[in-house]
Structure 1
Amino acid sequence: MSTQHCPALLVSAPASGQGKTSVTAAMARWHVRQGRQVRVFKAGPDFLDPMVLERASGAPVYQLDLWMNGEADVRARLHAAACEADLILVEGVMGLFDGAPSSADLAVQLGLPVLAVIDGSAMAQTFGALALGLARYRSDVHVHGVAANRVGSDYHASLLAQSLPDGLQWLGALPRDPTLALPERHLGLVPAGEMDSLDATLDALADAWARHASTALPPAAAFSNATGESAQSGLEAGPGNESMAGVRVAIARDDAFCFLYPANLDVLRAAAAELRFFSPLAGDPLPECDAVWLPGGYPELHLGALSARTDLHMALRTHHGAGKPLLAECGGLLFALEALADRDGVTRRMAGLLPGHARLQPRLAGLGLQEVLLPEGALRGHTFHYAMADVVAPAIATATNPNGGPSREAVFRDRRMTASFVHFYFPSNPIAALRLLQP
């Protein structure tokens, strides 16, 4: 077992909407501009926050979830980051103590000091009381410091800083400024690739953070890699180890298909697969390939463009008809159906790989961690979508939710095509994941 020390913070808050992502992004960009190498992670299975945080830090942002990843995978990723970084930031999920496992559980399990981000826009001295409550709620959670979001002035920031009790460090603040807000839509933040002014916004956030920032690095945390394995669970290409050497995997990647865990791509690369990215929105043809992966994203926002790709529909149907592997996840599932309707009821023809249709709903239709026992093995992941689908095909498996939540997604199988609303996390079972795409 090896241990590496690195300054680190888990950035959390009393609730969602307090400004965790803005503060994490501001800190990351500010420290990078000080010449430090910063590695950022995201607690939970979120796709969108990591896209922004990758731009802020200049390095890929991986997901950390004790259940979806498994503790060994989480520890291996943090240990690897600690070997090269000057600072590690982990953005939490929801409120500090919300969920199971919660951000607090992650902090305790990994020995991470916590930064509590509190929206101070409508308070003064009560800011300190709220911070003290977060710090004392669980004795095993170490709240190192506090940051304020949406402060009205330098004087307001000073009132908030002075309200903190002894033992809680003031780490910084961001102003109440609409121009610094990160735009959102129905699944969360707008993807980084769609924000033309994102780098300017990140620089502005870093400038604003610098006005009140503590110049001291947070305390160092100890990161151990107990198994000595890589974050890809030691998977290497070779006989008897599910090699994908020579296997060409076509992967849709653009604004309509943007939900790709970097860890999933790492698993494919570690198995020596040849990744061939293509953009359905840009008119790219389906690359010559042995397997196709249609990941999640926002097909509902691009109905016209996707419906017009009849050449791609035909190529995918030919691929599927030849019995070649195809994985369609969430947005990929919606594209694989015969038709998809947006919230206004505007319906367009889709690829027609799977009989059925879907329509976007005004409220969430699926949310939560998922585990599915497939013929290839058990895979973990999550679901998060607003679409309701009527699929005219039997399910080969139904996911379970570890927290007892109502979302239990079906998995559909037609020859070598696997389709579901579940976003699979390949490192949870690399061999099972590879078997979905092996010829």
Structure 2
Amino acid sequence: MLWKDEVGITGSAASYKALDDGVALRVRIHQRLLDMLNLSALDKASRESLRVEIRAPVGQLLAEEKRLLTPVQTDQLIEDVLDELLGLGPLEPLLQDDTVSDILINTHATVYVERRGRLEKTDVHFHDTRHLIRIINKIVSAVGRRVDESQPMVDARLPDGSRVNAIIPPLAVDGPLVSIRKFAAVPIHMARLIELNSISSEMAEVMQAIVKARRNVLISGGTGSGKTTLLNALSAFIDGAERIVTIEDSAELQLQQPHVGRLETRPPNLEDRGEVTQRDLLRNALRMRPDRIIVGEVRAGEAFDMLQAMNTGHDGSMTTVHANTPRDALSRIEQMIGMAGLELSPRSIRQQIASAINVVVQVERLEDGNRKLVSISEIVGMEEEVISMQEIFRFRRQGLGKDGLVKGEYETTGVRPRFMDVLAARGMELPSITFAPARRQF
């Protein structure tokens, strides 16, 4: 923010006034520069050349504002104005901060961030609601989406893949609300997840074998539990020679293979036409000769098409679903198939699920902010009207430590998974001791 060394204690009336004056000055200069600059050439100009070009006009505008700034303050003002011109204004410092994983904007006056699993309030804010809505429009228009009174909710993404959700009045009563889930510039690989104790090395070894053996995987978890992060990490085990098609509402997967086709849904236009859903994209993907299909998240009737793909030669496909337990995940899939408008009996739907999905992985965001893979379960078929499932690994909680961190250990259940025969047939042997009843303390 502008001139932090002059602000004083964050949260006081004086500090807020100083911050507000700085934002107001930056917005006024930004608006006046837009009238002076050649907007058609703005996108082609580099930040460095634009910095040189606007220095003199900024000095002139400061003189008209009767504001006397030091050279350091002037340089900071120019950087903030460049953020307004080329970036996302007050959000730019937070987007560049690698310690920030989530940015939560509660109206123009309040911005929170998540660092290391903990929420904290920042001194960042916008000049007014119009300023915030202008930034929102800048984000959504870049990916061909819109947000207005007729469509006040929108999902979008930033160029780096970070996920953005915005909701504006009249649905947001006090003012616009924006959530930004930042993605690392370099995807988190399995080795890093092991280092963070999000998964044990034995579980990672088994998951690698599952992916390479082309078992179909369903990743289940709550909001912010790390489903997409795990999906990215697992995708690194896919052979680079395979053709992968990804389908998402908002493209955010960061697959590293050379042969990836990325598909993204499209909302309806102003005439309420032209919508392309995940179901439409899934049907089209089947004609694209994919070896594997990865759906970012199933939410409705596309769950049926995903199961059909898994059952018709696209082994090794993966998707995620919002659910609190592996059993809940299967129930949600069953409910989603009902949304497809198909006249299928519950038993028939469950048979489809049992034959399509091989492994259910449960991830969880614990109260200390850490994300963990808490369960790996295998679907083994049907027992009368119920899908039969056996847990292979689990995370056993043992309470909270004095530092507020969740204590626990990973353990095997002692069950030898049936997919071991499939792994062996594909040349992947896992030591039998991997599944012996034993515990791993960390």
Question: TM-score with structure 1 length normalisation?
Answer: 0.32
Considering fraction of residues, name the structure with more strand.
Answer: 1
**Greater RCO between the two (CA within 8 Å, min separation 6)?**
1
Structure (1 or 2) with the larger CA radius of gyration:
2
Considering fraction of residues, name the structure with more helix.
Answer: 2
